[in-house]
Every structure is written in structure tokens, then in C-alpha cells.
Structure 1
């Protein structure tokens, strides 16, 4: 009995010693599940391989079906911190994206494709992190863009400026400052990892945001470099690339991509308004399928109204115009979005979304052929571009966080 008593007291003392250490560290499991049904007025299907001088032949068909991650991409993740003392901590975040309808991992079937990073955080020096991370456009512009009003369906066509976080930066080092009176800024560098070159397939950028009271303003810049000496690339180095739709697939052979983006929001009463701007430039290399620099400019406006504590309504419009293409008038895209959101609880909500886009003018296909521009609504349109000049997408669903 004495031995049992002494062992119990010893364990109790050890537990008392360990509790403060455990309380200074934390690991959180979190996630979002989002599912529904939807209608797409036109979704292209290739009937030929195509080639130089022979554009791919597409047929177009409407599609009713299951929809995964429309309001928010389905995800689960782990994030944690360890207090190192003196206002310093070690931090990490691992986040998996997946399709709730099939269970398949997203972002190129990566285990932690949305985010995977670790680093150090200081109350006075900011945060330094290493891994697969969002760029400053996502951090400082995307967080106050149309996505907060009408989801990725309201992104600039094809999310060509990455405001809706279609792409991430691999093998990157990122620094973010502390928040100074509402202002924060940061920068990122992604290593290309190409033997013999420190530039091939690297990426770098910087940005900042001011958020104080009813006003929020953000700006970001990103420069990404492809592998020189190739006629095409999967952009599998530091930067994923944003070439997943008919909007810009004809420029995937660019030697480099530059993005400038900005956004602002202002709230008054139950109403919030916002504006956004994106400028994307593709620079050709010796073996690219296009010979001159090509630029897209996008501008958008959004408005949201909190009708009741549980109901929010929103609408958005954006316009995108591209440069002239090989002597022909460049592409133009007009897009309108409507959204409604109903909170059943703090964690669960219902939503309804509508997006419509009309395209005109000419652009390039993946082989460099001049073709008629076709529609691809917002970020949701990536991979389901239309074969015609118009596209309508309707989604209804349920979203739950944990």
C-alpha cells in the first residue's frame, strides 16, 4: 500500500509539473464540408486532338449534377503552435483539399495541397514560414475580394489573377509583418529547384493590407517564371500556374507570368461594397506559342446586404479585357453573379448561387491558333469551360464548418 501511495503521489506531482507546459502548446483539427447540386448551361467536350493550324473541335452540352465545394473548397487540416517564451512561438499548418463527392484529394491529388508549412512567429518581428503557401495576392487581396461576397463563382474569369487562390507557391519562404495600427505587409520567395538556374520556375511576390473599422484595402504583386527552353510546361516548379480554363490556356507556354492585383471594401450599416482590379501579363519565350506579350485587365464591383442576422444577399459584376491577338480584336468577358446565404447556426448554412458570363472577340488555344473566345464563369468555371460565348452556372448547397 505504501508503494502504491508513493507512486500515486509521484505521478500526481509529475502531472502538476507537466500541465503548464501542455497549456502553452496547442494542436487544432478543423475543416469545411460543402456539397450541393448544380446546373451548367454549357460544358465543352473535345472531339479531336487538335494541333497547329487545326483547333480542337468541341461540342457543348448542359450538365446537371453533384457539386462539391462551391461556396468553400472542402478541406480538413491541422494547425498548431508551441510557446517558446518571450512572445515567440513555433507554428505549423497542414491542410488537405478534397472532393466530398468522390473522396479524392484536390490540388493535383496532393495529400496537403491547400497548405503545408511550418515556421516561427514573433510578436515583434512577425511570422517566418517555410513550405507550400499562399502568395501575397491571396493573403492581402483575396481576403477582401469578391470571394467574400459571392464565392469563387464571382472571381475574375478563370481566376487568372489568382485572387481566389487557385494556385500556391511551392518550396517557399514567406515573411509577414506584425499588424501595425491595421496595416500589415509581407513577401514570399519560391525556389524553382532547377539544376543550373536559380531563376527557372521560381516565384516571388509582395503585398500589404490596411484594415481598420469599416475600411479595408489590399494590394499584391507576383512574378512567376516558367522553365526556359520548352514550348509548354505544367508550371510544376515553385508556382502551380492558373491555366485551367479557356480564358488563358493559350498562354501556358509563357516564359513568365506577372500579376498585379488590388481590392477594397467599405461597410456602412448592413451594407458592404467592394471593388477589385487585376492585371496579368504573359511574356513569351523563344519556343512559346505566341510571340508578343499579352495582358488581361479585370475590374469588378460587389455589394452585399445583411437582410437579417441569418440572411445575406450579394451581387457582383466584373469585366475582363485582353490584348489584341495576332491582328484580331482581343477577348472580352462580362460576368454577373448573384448569391444568397442563410445561416442555420454558427456552423451550418444554406446557399444559392448564380453566375452568367458572355465572351466576345478572339483568343488563342493551347496550340497558338486564333479562336473565338468562350465563356468560363469565375473560379468554378475552371475545367468546365463552355464551347460557346455564354455560360450560366447555378448552384444550391449546404456548408458546415468544424
Structure 2
């Protein structure tokens, strides 16, 4: 009898362990490479300083292009079933340049994403680590970047709709989907001694989907480190100050973003609109004074011409507020894109972006200068020295 009881208990224990031990780890990634042409890429001839704008030359650029459609990456996703609809989850995602093999996101090992937490089918998901904010989760997933890649982002991706930035040291909650509605919130800990507010970030947003219609909106508030100087931005939020669009406001005391997007599908055609309001508030150590506001609006149309061929077009308009009584900076941007899928995993693409800038803005040293073009988020770091810029990219992307 004792022997039978022992065998029965062992069998039940085995079944119990099996029920709770279901888990998986998935390796995934994207490799994206091609060739590119940039009509104007600024090159420093004379270094700038406060009171002395840099002198740039402007030259065309031809060559290898890495991660134009999608940033090159590889990652690991993990899920362990804890029973009763509860799971332990994690994601580690590395970004890199396929042309040089260098790490992206400032040389971080897992700079794109690095988080872990718990997920419940009834209560939602709570995660901690380096993560995307609700602007990316609820607005970015239905924005122009979905159809036009980062080249179709609002100039400089100054609103982060195209996920250039992440929040480090953050905690995030994402709800289950309730009849098409999902919402979430994030808080990034600044970690600055003596202050709860400095360097912190908080954000919230939501998305509603019903049939062919989708709409999303989100808000984010990020603060800089107290005493930021020399154009520096130090926060739980990475910031998007790598282009001529907004590099002059990296010393802001705080940044606020309101963003929204919507799409509607009619047969094989998807129409989209987007809007954002980005504000930079100056502090006593900032290189500008008062408040600078950028309003951006865009429209896209995407046509699934055949099961393998998709064509898209878009237009964006961005306007900043006047600086020191000068004419406000304005940016008009046009994009065309085509994609041909050789398989579910492999596709060819061709992209064209054109932007024209006008008015005055600030450079990285706080000097008032003429606004220059910087197409989408792909233009980050390769802004033009003139008021116009054209980008052309052709390439191949494979997912795994």
C-alpha cells in the first residue's frame, strides 16, 4: 500500500511540475542592408561655440546603408507559465550596424530593449527595465513609420513616434485588451540623489481598434538633470536630439510630448493621419529661454497592390514657434516607398524622402541659425547644411 501511495504522489508531482514548467525562449532578429544616396550631408569646416555658429560644407553621399527599413537587431524572448493565466516574461534586444558590426544605442549590449516582469491574461503585464514608452506602443504602431519606415517619421523623430528613444530604469504597466481598447503607463526613475523629479520620465496612453479602424494617443513628460549645461540631455528618457531639427534644445529643463495617430482600411488601401505637439521648457542652465513648441502633422496612404507588392506615400508638416522674434522654423517632407516580398521573411524595398526647411532655429550651441533639412529619423546624424535634402535607399530585409 505504501509503495502504491508513493508512486501515486510522484506521478501527481510530475504532472504538477509539467503544468507549471511550460516555458519557451525564442531567438529572433532582423538584418537589413542596402545602398543609399543623400543629396546633402553636412561636414564641419569650422567648429562652433556659443556666439559662433559652426561652418559646414555640404556634399552628396553614396554608399552602404544599414538598417534603413528596420534597425538591425537580434534578441531573446522568454516566457514561463506559472499557472492560472500568469507568466514570467523577459525580452533582451540588441541593436547593431550590419555594415560595421558596431553596437547601436550608444554601445549598449541590449540597447533596444532589456526588461522582465509578470504577465496575466486577466490583469495585464507589469515589466521593469529599459523599455519603450506608451507613445511607441500605442501611437507608433499605427503611424507613418508602419508604412514608410523611419524615413517617413516626423522630421528628426522629435516626438519619438518612430521609437528612436527608450526609457531606462523604468516600470511599465500594459492592460489586457477590453473590447478593442488597451491602455498603459510608464514611469522612469531618474536616480539622481536628492531629487525625485530630476531625470525622471512618466508617460501614459491607449489605443482602440474596431474592425478597419484604429486610433491611439499618448502623453510623455521627461525631465533633464538639474544643472544640465552645454547642450547636454541626461534623463531616464534617451531623447531625440541627434539632428538639426531640435539639437538646439537638448539643454531643456523638461520635455513634453502629446501624440496621436489613426488609420482606416478600405479594401487593399490603408489611410493614416498623425499629429504631435512637442514642447521644450527652458531652465536656468538651458542654452535658450522660455518655451519652444513644435507641432507636426502627417498623412499617409498605403496600397497592397498584390500579395507581394505594397506601395506607400506620405506628407509631413512641422512648424516650431518663433525664436527671438525670428521667422518660425518650418519643414515640409514628402515620402514614397515600395516593398516587394520574396517570401514571408525576405523583402526588397525602395525608399525616397525629400524635405525643405525654412525659417530660423537654434544650433547645438544656442546660436540662432537658418533651419536646415534632416529627413525623417534616418536623417539623424546626417542632417543637411542647406534647407533641402533628398534621401534614396534601396535594400533587402530578412527577419528570423
Flag whether TM exceeds 0.5 (same fold). Answer: yes
Tell me, yes or no, if the aligned pair for 1:219 and 1:263 is still in contact at 8 Å: yes
Matched, 1:239 2:237: yes
Q: Where do residues 216-365 of structure 1 align in structure 2 (5 Å cutoff)?
A: 216-232=214-230, 234-365=232-363
The superposition leaves residues 325-363 of structure 1 with CA deviations (integer Å, 9 ceiling, x where unpaired) of 111011000000000000000100000000000000000
Instruction: Tell me how far apart the structure 1 counterparts of residues 31 and 333 of structure 2 sit (CA, whole Å).
Output: 27
Q: Where do residues 2-401 of structure 1 align in structure 2 (5 Å cutoff)?
A: 20=18, 24-232=22-230, 234-401=232-399
Tell me, yes or no, if the aligned pair for 1:29 and 1:76 is still in contact at 8 Å: yes
Instruction: Tell me how far apart the structure 1 counterparts of residues 143 and 312 of structure 2 sit (CA, whole Å).
Output: 13
The superposition leaves residues 10-53 of structure 1 with CA deviations (integer Å, 9 ceiling, x where unpaired) of xxx99x86993587101000000000001000000111221122
Task: Indicate the residue corresponding to 1:10 in structure 2.
Answer: none
Tell me, yes or no, if the aligned pair for 1:348 and 1:398 is still in contact at 8 Å: yes
The superposition leaves residues 222-243 of structure 1 with CA deviations (integer Å, 9 ceiling, x where unpaired) of 0000012232454343111110
Instruction: Tell me how far apart the structure 1 counterparts of residues 84 and 15 of structure 2 sit (CA, whole Å).
Output: 20
The superposition leaves residues 250-289 of structure 1 with CA deviations (integer Å, 9 ceiling, x where unpaired) of 0011000000000000001010000000100000000211
Instruction: Tell me how far apart the structure 1 counterparts of residues 186 and 387 of structure 2 sit (CA, whole Å).
Output: 37
Gaps of 5+ in 1: 1-12
Moved over 3 A (4+): 16-23
Shift of 1:218: 0.3
Tell me, yes or no, if the aligned pair for 2:214 and 2:262 is still in contact at 8 Å: yes
Instruction: Tell me how far apart the structure 1 counterparts of residues 265 and 199 of structure 2 sit (CA, whole Å).
Output: 40
Instruction: Tell me how far apart the structure 2 counterparts of residues 227 and 181 of structure 1 sit (CA, whole Å).
Output: 41
Instruction: Tell me how far apart the structure 2 counterparts of residues 358 and 153 of structure 1 sit (CA, whole Å).
Output: 14
Task: Indicate the residue corresponding to 2:3 in structure 1.
Answer: none
Q: What's the TM-score, normalizing by structure 1?
A: 0.95
Instruction: Tell me how far apart the structure 2 counterparts of residues 212 and 139 of structure 1 sit (CA, whole Å).
Output: 17
SS at match of 1:149: helix
Shift of 1:212: 2.1
SS at match of 2:105: coil
Tell me, yes or no, if the aligned pair for 1:275 and 1:302 is still in contact at 8 Å: yes
Q: What's the TM-score, normalizing by structure 2?
A: 0.95
Give the total of aligned pairs: 390
Quick one: structure 1 residues 236 and 287, their matched pair in 2 at CA, closer, same or farther if it must change by over 3 Å?
closer
Instruction: Tell me how far apart the structure 2 counterparts of residues 52 and 90 of structure 1 sit (CA, whole Å).
Output: 51
Instruction: Tell me how far apart the structure 2 counterparts of residues 205 and 73 of structure 1 sit (CA, whole Å).
Output: 24
